[in-house]
Amino acid sequence: MPQVDLTGKRVLVTLPLSNEQEAWIRSLVERAGGTASFVREPLVADADTEGASIIVGNVPARTLHDSQKLEWFQTSSAGYDHYLVEGLLAPITILTNATGAYGQAVSEHMLASLMCLMKKLHLYRDGQRASKWEDRGPVTSLVGATVLIMGAGDIGTSFARLVSALGAHAWGVRRHAGECCDPFERMFTLDDVSDVLGEADVVACVLPSTPETRGFCKASFFSAMKKGSFFVNAGRGDLVDQDELAEALANGRLAGAALDVTSPEPLPPDHPLWLQENALITPHVAGFWHLQATVDAVVGICASNLEAFLDGRPLANIVREGSDIDRAR
């Protein structure tokens, strides 16, 4: 039986659950004395989050300004930086995320986008739309290529496995020094990046948004990359100076860039990146709920943490410790 008493408390769940999963969570919460409400994320309003003691799944950040009773917030995303705006979460709120759920989906999207650019499939698609039978010339391969992956967590490691399986050499970048292990052949820190950029045929970014990473990829970064190399970003848009990236594409420094994230989102319609023939832009869709395996993994992480919370056990994926309060354990 749960050890946490939820009497008089409400749990808001915004996950895309099956009827069976919703019934299971409802029974779990009700056995602890609480009530559960279920609202899909796009429909969440201020009234849904107001007064909630637990939120499981993402909600619009604007709805959390009056959530002073929120004890625990479990996001359905791996990213959480937009929830750490000063004053948004109450001091008592524990924040946990869904790290570990998105490796397959995002890494496969990154690989597909990269291969599309390397084989010029985007140009042939443009030619198809114009009814043009036109040979676009030489292409490139991952066999023997050096792929520098900035961000060596779940997603970066999954991407490293994929490119390694295709014959590439995967090099990793962590924010802090750490041991190198398979599938990475070499490991660096952010301080080392400028020294190795010129050796990479592909630079792929899956770093989170932090003061250390914002604006990291700017003019000096792109000018240090190997001429004719490729750039991929599926982490956070604010990592990149997009005007400088557009210039690096326009002047031929880079062979191509695949972006699933931009800053802001959506990318303004007048931004020069839209007009770059060698840019492939997708609207932040690499993760989300598009792959069923991702849905299953996110629900599994959230459900496991909910059980742990109600049992009084330690939570996984804590990114913010709340101040101590009496949770009736």
Residues forming the active site: 236, 265, 284
Helix (H) or strand (E) holding 11: strand 10-13
Lookup: tokens for 308: 């742990």
The single-letter code of the amino acid at 318 is I
Q: How far apart are CA 9 and CA 178, in angstroms?
A: 42
In terms of Cβ atoms closer than 10 Å to its own Cβ (0-12, 13-18, 19+), residue 92 is middle
Lookup: tokens for 57: 């799944």
- Which residue's structure tokens are 């069976």? 20
Residue 144's SS3 state is coil
Q: Which segments of 32-179 does DSSP mark as H helices, in order?
A: 46-49, 103-118, 121-129, 154-165
* Rounded (10°) angle between helices 292-311 and 103-118: 150
Lookup: tokens for 329: 């354990």
